[in-house]
Structure 1
Amino acid sequence: MFDFWQGAESLPIYGYMIRATIVYLYIFLIVKVLGQRSMSSIDALDFIFGVVIGDILGEPLTDGSIPLAGPVSAAAMTAGLHLLLSIFALRAPRFRRVIEDEPIILMRHGQILHEELRKAKITLEAFFMDLRLNNASDLSEIDYAILEMNGSISVIKKSNYESVTLNDMKRNVPSKGYPSVLIEDGHIIEANVKKFGTIDWLREQVHKQGFRNPHEIFVMTIDETGQIFVSPKSQTKDL
């Protein structure tokens, strides 16, 4: 009954499929526990898929005595899970937050957030290295530093230090800051909307942008100066 766990000389195909499911979910859990930094620059689902497929199909390729039916079935099961989670994440924004890590703000308005560094398991030396790789070695020029879902750190410089700097032109402009997503794939991100106004306020902004409802918008963001960016869906639909 538990041959899939204990192993057997002639393990049935469903045993390989159960093992593939267990290994996939187990590695996913390990990756989530280790944090975003362990992912380097690839997506979590792709990382898991690569590791599991390589392990499942690697041994049969080096040992000809192992039947291929089980490993191939297990690989198909893993690929199916990978595809299912990817499709589900695209269609369910809330579930997407479980699959994909939220960006972590490591530096806000020029202030390093040491608690967030600790949460992301990033040492100060590693943080400075990533800033240098982003051509941002001068900390006084940085407005925001964000740890993205793929493990890389992106930098938003203060407006006065952007390319062809406004500082050289003797112009002072308000900092744009870190843009917040108000609408994603037609769904309102209420937690972000509450930082700027109400749902009614958001719908008013949607109408000002020439849309009838949020479902017509693929992404809508707002920065700290109140500047709104909207990208519509290629195909719109009514409520």
Structure 2
Amino acid sequence: MSETIVPFEAGRMWVGAEPWLFYLEIVFRSTIGYLYCILLMRALNGRTAAQVSKIDLVLVIALGSAVGDLTLYNDVPILHALTVVTVIISLTKLMDLAQQKSETVNRVLSDPPVVIIKHGVIDQRGLKSQDLNALEVMEQLRLSGVRNLGQVEWAFQEASGAFSVFFHDEPEPGLPIVPPHDLAPAPPEFPSPDAGEDACCQKCGAIVSDDGTGGNLPCPNCGAQKWTRPVTAERRQR
């Protein structure tokens, strides 16, 4: 038979039946769990924690779990949950201080920007490292006002998951990305290059010299075999 719960019993509600040394175990468990979450977050790409740092995301998850246990389970004493919250906040502050004091710690905990666009061409290594595809990149670029990959000199995915885009002073020929590729048919949006014209890869925007057989040759950057004519967008107003 389960033990009868006495509502608002001070000993059960605040302290529990465990000895005071159990609080050291709570500190140890909380520290291990926190550091393990930080380690796992290192494996996540930027989109998963978009607009928030990974340490802040761990903080939100850990605090939510601790407070949730406190509010839902009658066998979790208030002081146990408050100890967990205190440890989590303290560890987060220590992480912040360590990042400010040590460049090595900062490099370990902070993700560097990843190159996504280089001189109007989608970087395949950047895509793979961030688990992105070309359509997702084009969506982010359109949100920055990009109409054509030839407008972009560099684009990076930051640690927050956001894109930072740097434009050429003068647009160069490149792959048009407006309207979205998945909503527009290939003709007439993607006319095939004529013999002697440069060819632009429809997947990554790479431009190669073409002799009229570009449609049968793989792109040297991404391996795709769909080509179109490169287009030069209008100069971007500043």
Q: Which of 125, 135, 139 is residue 115 of structure 1 equivalent to? A: 125
Q: Does 1:36 align with 2:36?
A: no
**1:134 aligned residue (140, 144, 161):** 144
Where structure 2 has 5 or more consecutive residues not aligned to the other structure, the ranges are 1-15, 172-238
In the alignment, the residues of structure 2 paired with residue 141 and residue 29 of structure 1 have an alpha-carbon distance, to the nearest angstrom, of 38
Specify the alignment match of 2:67 in structure 1: 57
User: Where do 1:196-211 residues align within 5 Å?
Assistant: none
Q: 1:97 aligns with which of 86, 107, 119?
A: 107
In 2, distance between residues paired with 1:158 and 1:102? 23
Higher relative CO (Cα under 8 Å, sequence separation at least 6) belongs to 2
CA RMSD of aligned residues (A): 1.8
Alpha-carbon separation, structure 2, partners of 1:102 and 1:74:
31
Q: 2:80 aligns with which of 70, 84, 88?
A: 70
**AA aligned opposite 2:164:** S
Stretches of structure 1 lacking an aligned partner (at least 5 in a row): 1-7, 162-239
Residues in 1 aligned to 2:84 and 2:59: alpha-carbon distance in whole angstroms: 12
How many residue pairs get matched? 154
Residue 26 of structure 2 is matched in structure 1 by: 16
Q: Which of 89, 97, 104 matches 1:79?
A: 89
- Counterpart of 2:58, as a letter, is I
> Which secondary structure does the structure 2 equivalent of 1:34 belong to?
coil
Aligned residue type for 1:67: P
Question: Which residue in the other structure is 1:45 paired with?
Answer: 55
1:188-229 Cα offsets, whole Å, 9 max, x none, are xxxxxxxxxxxxxxxxxxxxxxxxxxxxxxxxxxxxxxxxxx
Once residues 10 and 126 of structure 1 are traced to their aligned partners in structure 2, the CA distance between those partners, rounded to angstroms, is 52
Structure 2 length as normaliser, TM-score? Answer: 0.61
1:151 counterpart residue number: 161
Alpha-carbon distance in structure 1 between the residues aligned to 2:150 and 2:119: 10
Match of 1:178 in 2: none
TM-score (normalizing by structure 1):
0.61
Residue identity over aligned pairs, in percent, reads 21
Which has more helix, going by share of residues?
Answer: 1
Give 1:33's aligned amino acid. Answer: A
- Decide whether the 8 Å contact of 1:13 with 1:73 is kept in 2: yes
Tell me the CA shift for residue 46 of structure 1: 0.9
Q: Distance in 2 between matches of 1:75 and 1:137?
A: 47
Amino acid at match of 1:144: W
